[in-house]
Every structure is written in structure tokens, then in C-alpha cells.
Chain A
Amino acid sequence: MNAPQAVGVDWPLEVHGALRGAGITIVSYVPDAGHKRLIELCHADPAMRCVPLTTEEEGLGLATGAWLGGERSVLLMQSSGVGNVINVLGTIKECRIPLPMIITMRGEYGEFNPWQIPMGQATPAVLEAMDVIVQPALEAKAVAPAVDAALRLAFNGYAAVAVLISQRVIGIKSFQEQAAQ
């Protein structure tokens, strides 16, 4: 159960398919070990422009500009980045910009790094305080359906929606395991 992508569900491949199905053409990200395969799949897709960011809030500016220009984007990040986007979420709300975010959790379940725990534990409350719709995915088979639903909510409702992929899914339990990714 500890290995990444356990129980035979290739959730990154399914999520990539959901992004394609929703017409996502711009994928921005701050890397996370849990997003490694999805990032690689998006980079390999000629229909997607991948934009590595230096900090997560850049992804909100990018999503706003992309939507003004008629394109759909998605933001991939780790839960620690949620603290970096709080103020700009106010602009997303005021302007009603569709903003799907796919967030891999740290500091949530079996965390090995104590410095990750405060932000990880606060992540849902921080997002909800800024009126972001939060949809947890607690197991691998639930990730792609949650992303698909989040994309519909975001673009049909002009809303910010976050899928929180549990550490149960990512399954990394030590620095050594993370480094071996």
C-alpha cells in the first residue's frame, strides 16, 4: 500500500485524460513528487502548453490572463503552496475566473516532515475561507472522477475549485522514498 500509484489505478493517466476532455490547453505548476507523472504526461502532450512557475500565485495570474484570452488552464501544486495564493484568490473571486487546482497533500496523513504539518492541516480551512470549493480525493480511484467534477464546477460555475489528493494516494512516507521518485 505504500508504493506510489498502488492498487493498480493509474490516476495521473486518468487525470491527464480528464484535462484533455475538458479542453485544458495551459497547465501551470510548481512541482511536487506526487505530481511527477502527471507533469510528464502534460509536457508530452502537444495540445498542452506547460508553464513551470516560481511560486504558486503566478498560476492565478496566468489563469486569469488565459481566461481573458479564451483559453482554459489548470494549476498543479502541493498543499504548502496554498498559503502562497491566498490574496490573489480574492481577485479570482471578484472577477469570477474559472480556476481548477489539483493539489497534492502534505502534512495530512502519515507525514514524516513536521514542518509540513501546519500548512497541510490548515489547507482545507484556508481554501474555504477564500470561498474555494474543496473536493477531497482519498483513494487513487477517486482522483480522476474528482478532477472531472472539479473541472465542470470551475468552468460551468466560473469558480475556484480545489481537488485535494490525499497523502494516502501519494503514499510517500520518507525522504528516502521521495528522493527515489
Chain B
Amino acid sequence: MSATLHRREVVAELLAERGELLVVAGLGSTAWDCTAAGDDDLTFPLWGAMGQAAMMGLGLALAQPQRRVLVVTGDGEMLMGLSSLATIGVQRPANLSIVVIDNGRYGETGMQETHTAHGVDLAAIARAAGFADARTVRAAGELGALRAAIHAHPGPNFASVKVRVEKLPIILPPRDGGLLKARFRRALLGASADLQ
């Protein structure tokens, strides 16, 4: 069954009227997707640390239990950090959601197939690891419910959203790691964060 959803439309819908949502964007295509939806001080787009997006989400969720935290990452990035799903399953942060934009490809390196293109089921793995909600999304009609879950459903929540293989314009966020960190902390914690 080939995917029909467009990744930019999916991410734009999930981040629409995001309110106080804190976002970690995995390196590569998902960072460009989140930037295309609107660069935001409360998005931390990654340019490296492949495999660590979910763990950054966990750290943020534990530090900010009153805020909702969303990790948007790719299937290749999630596969590299697969065991972090087990670590998150032990901590069970109710405010954390992980959405994998799953095109079954390594998009930045020549569109080679990832393991999900061969049937590896990320949602089943997340469910087995103890996520409260783990689903695979294939239709546009399911995105509203996923967005609602990200904002309100007791987590940890996981979704693999199957999207088309597409070559899209690269929309770059700032790339200075110190700047991205500082702007996020200032927006979240106030100017006093600069003095911590």
C-alpha cells in the first residue's frame, strides 16, 4: 500500500495553532518540514545527534511536566535511536508525543530504503515498549485526532505517519547550535535563563 500523505501538509497540520507546544525536530527532512511550517523559538531543530531526538523530547518532558512536548522526526532517525523507546516506556511521561514522518527512506543521503520500507513496524515497537498510545496514520482524516492527542492525550504517545517519497525544497532553520539553544531557553524560561 503506497502512502498518499504529503509530509509538509502533515507537519503543517500537526503544528497548526500550536500554542505552548514545545517541539524537537529531528535532523534532515523533519527539521525542514517544521521550519516550512514556521520557524519558532520553541522549536529545537537538530542538525546532528542522529538517534537522539526522542531522548531530547524525554529530557524536555521531564523538565517541563506542565507543558506538552512533541518530537517530530524521521524513520531513519528513529531507527537509530530505537532503544530510546524502551527508556521512554519506563519513564512514561504523560506530556510527551513522538511523531515519525515515515517515508521509508533516508532522504538526505540518496533516498535509500530504511527498515520501515521492509515492514519494520515502529508503532508496534512503541506499543511493546509501553507507550500509552501508538498508532500508524495513513489518511488525512486521522490527522485531526492525532493533533488533539498531541495536545491533550495522556502519553507517552507515538505515531508513525506514512508519507509519500518526495523531493522537496529545503527550508533551513538557523544552524548555530548555541543560538538555537539560547533562543529556546529564553522563550521558555524567560530572560533569566541567560543568567543560569
A residues with CB within 8 A of B: 25-26, 49, 51-55, 57-71, 73, 87-88, 90-91, 94-97
Q: Is the interface of B mostly helix, strand, loop or mixed?
A: helix
Contact B62 A71 (CB under 8 A): yes
B122 located at the interface, meaning its Cβ lies under 8 Å from any Cβ of chain A in the complex: no
Q: Known interface pairs A70-B189, A70-B193. Does A65 touch B90 (Cβ–Cβ under 8 Å)?
A: no
Contact B52 A64 (CB under 8 A): yes
Contact A65 B181 (CB under 8 A): no
Identify which of residues 30-83 in chain B touch chain A, using a CB-to-CB cut-off of 8 Å: 44, 46-64, 81, 83
Q: How far is the CB of A110 from chain B (nearest CB, A)?
A: 32
Residues of A near B83 (CB, < 8 A) are: 54-55, 58
Residues of B near A87 (CB, < 8 A) are: 48-50
B100 located at the interface, meaning its Cβ lies under 8 Å from any Cβ of chain A in the complex: no
CA distance A35 to B42 in the complex (A): 36
Contact A65 B196 (CB under 8 A): no
Most buried by B among A49, A57, A59, A97: A57
Residues of B near A65 (CB, < 8 A) are: 24, 55-63
Additional pairs, 20, CB under 8 Å, beyond known A61-B53, A94-B177: A26-B62, A54-B83, A58-B83, A60-B52, A61-B54, A62-B56, A64-B52, A64-B55, A64-B56, A65-B56, A66-B59, A67-B181, A67-B185, A68-B56, A68-B59, A69-B22, A70-B188, A88-B48, A95-B178, A96-B178
Contact B90 A52 (CB under 8 A): yes
Q: Is the interface of A mostly helix, strand, loop or mixed?
A: helix
B184 located at the interface, meaning its Cβ lies under 8 Å from any Cβ of chain A in the complex: yes
Q: Kindly count the residue-residue contacts between A and B in the assembled complex, taking CB atoms under 8 Å apart.
A: 123
Residues of B near A59 (CB, < 8 A) are: 55
Identify which of residues 71-101 in chain B touch chain A, using a CB-to-CB cut-off of 8 Å: 81, 83-84, 86-87, 90-91
CA distance A96 to B194 in the complex (A): 13
Residues of B near A97 (CB, < 8 A) are: 181
Contact B56 A61 (CB under 8 A): yes
Q: Known interface pairs A90-B48, A94-B178, A96-B178. Does A54 touch B84 (Cβ–Cβ under 8 Å)?
A: yes
CA distance A70 to B187 in the complex (A): 11
B165 located at the interface, meaning its Cβ lies under 8 Å from any Cβ of chain A in the complex: no
Residues of B near A73 (CB, < 8 A) are: 59
Residues of B near A58 (CB, < 8 A) are: 52, 55, 81, 83-84, 87
CA distance A64 to B91 in the complex (A): 17
Q: How far is the CB of B109 from chain A (nearest CB, A)?
A: 16
What residue in chain B is nearest A88 (Cβ atoms)? B49
B180 located at the interface, meaning its Cβ lies under 8 Å from any Cβ of chain A in the complex: yes
Residues of A near B56 (CB, < 8 A) are: 61-62, 64-65, 68
Select which of B60, B177, B181 is within 8 A of A66 by beta carbon. Answer: B60
Q: Known interface pairs A61-B49, A61-B52. Does A69 touch B188 (Cβ–Cβ under 8 Å)?
A: yes
Contact B59 A61 (CB under 8 A): yes
CA distance A88 to B181 in the complex (A): 15
Residues of A near B51 (CB, < 8 A) are: 57, 61
Contact B188 A68 (CB under 8 A): yes
A sample of 12 inter-chain contacts (CB < 8 A) reads: A51-B62, A52-B90, A55-B83, A58-B84, A61-B81, A63-B59, A67-B59, A67-B63, A70-B196, A71-B63, A73-B59, A94-B48
